[in-house]
Amino acid sequence: MPRFVKLATLEELPVGSAKEVEFEGRVYAIYNVEGVISAIDGICPHQGGPLAEGTVEGTTVTCPWHGWQFEIRTGKTPLGSKIKQAVYEVKVEGHDVLVAVP
């Protein structure tokens, strides 16, 4: 059962920014795209690149290491349906960004 845990605040995530947060051994990449907060697994499934440091265009993040791309809101990639990045539900309560951690 996922539980919502505060992993960031809105002050830490201005529009257009991203933040990497480690919690209980997992790394989360949290993005603010045009005011909508999304969270995905922050470790690229290719070779472990830091997806929070990737370039974001629209709702697509490009891994800074070798360019794999992921749709921030769905975890899908143009590389094919066998690869899908985990996406975590996000709630904003006041100024707190809560992520549904597994």
User: What is the nearest approach in angstroms of ligand FES to the Cβ of residue 54?
Assistant: 8
Contact 55/63 with Cβ under 8 angstroms? no
Closest to ligand FES by CB, 35 or 48:
48
Radius of gyration of the chain (CA): 13
Q: Footprint of ligand FES on this chain (CB under 6 A)?
A: 44, 46-49, 63, 65-68
Tell me whether residue 53 or residue 96 sits nearer to ligand FES (CB atom).
53
In the chain, the amino acid numbered 98 is L
CB of residue 9 vs ligand FES: minimum separation in angstroms? 27
Which structure tokens are listed for 67? 């360019």
